Amino acid sequence: MKNILDIKNLSYSFGNNPILKDINIHVNENEMVAIVGSSGVGKSTLFNLIAGVLKKQVGEITINGSEDYIGKVAYMLQKDLLFEHKTIIDNVILPLIIAKVNKKEALEEGNKILKQFNLDKYANKYPQQLSGGMRQRVALIRTYMFKRKIFLLDEAFSALDAITKKELHKWYLDLKKEFNLTTLLITHDIEEAVFLSDRIYILGNKPGEIIGEIEIEINPNEDIDVQRLLYKKEILNIMNIE
């Protein structure tokens, strides 16, 4: 399996305050990997380093074997950040317009992907006319349109109610399968991580360090809910949470 993202011995400090210590993780092609951990252990700092928002201090970040990793990821936050004054189709094609794609070609591609996911009827609506779940779908599609090697999802589903979140989880797995997406997700929601991920890294301590790695292997011939519950208990045990 091809390695897309590789992080070795990554450490980071804000002044004299160490935030991350000796982080070693990798994400393979078409894999969905989650990083779980309590608030304040450095999850968002790690993402900001991968995205190039923060400058790397110690360690190595490579994408497809290259240390030229800046600008190679698509980054989506908890807030959808849709432009309220733009229609859904104009929001979706924004990455293509930024990339200097011809407007007509961009519209053709944008309408095609909206139709592919049964969202074409919303093309000429505005974000405020959509539910939270629909807005997040549009934001995820817009993130895909950046055509980067890897998706970074920073608590991307956490603002949604439980039912909408479950629907969006299934929808994202369809999106991942359809477009062979490689995804790194950070979340405090262990159930979400177990449901979505192929592997899970557990980030703990201060400064934050990897304290566990779990591969999720669900046997469809056995009780799936029980299997997921056992994985959740294993993660909580590693995190030393009752």
Neighbours of 1 (CB within 10 A): 7
Residues 127 and 91: beta-carbon distance below 8 Å: yes
Please write down the HEC assignment for all residues of 207-240. CEEEEEEEECCCCCCCCHHHHHHHHHHHHHHHCC
- The pTM of this model reads 0.86
Are 202 and 208 a contacting pair, CB within 8 Å?
no
- Residue 63's pLDDT is 93
Give me the mean pLDDT over the 151-179 stretch: 83
Q: Is 193:169 a contact under the CB 8 Å cutoff? A: no
The predicted pLDDT at position 103 comes to 92
Q: Is 129 helix (H, G, I), strand (E, B) or coil?
A: helix
In percent, the amount of the chain with pLDDT more than 90 equals 55
Quote the pLDDT of residue 72: 85
Residue 80, pLDDT > 80, answer no
Beta bridge partner(s), residue 12 = 20
Half-sphere exposure (Cβ direction) of 232: Cα atoms closer than 13 Å: 16
User: Quick one: average pLDDT of 173-189?
Assistant: 88
Place of tokens 């497809």: 64
| Whether residue 35 has pLDDT greater than 90 | yes
Residue predicted with more confidence, 139 or 211? 211
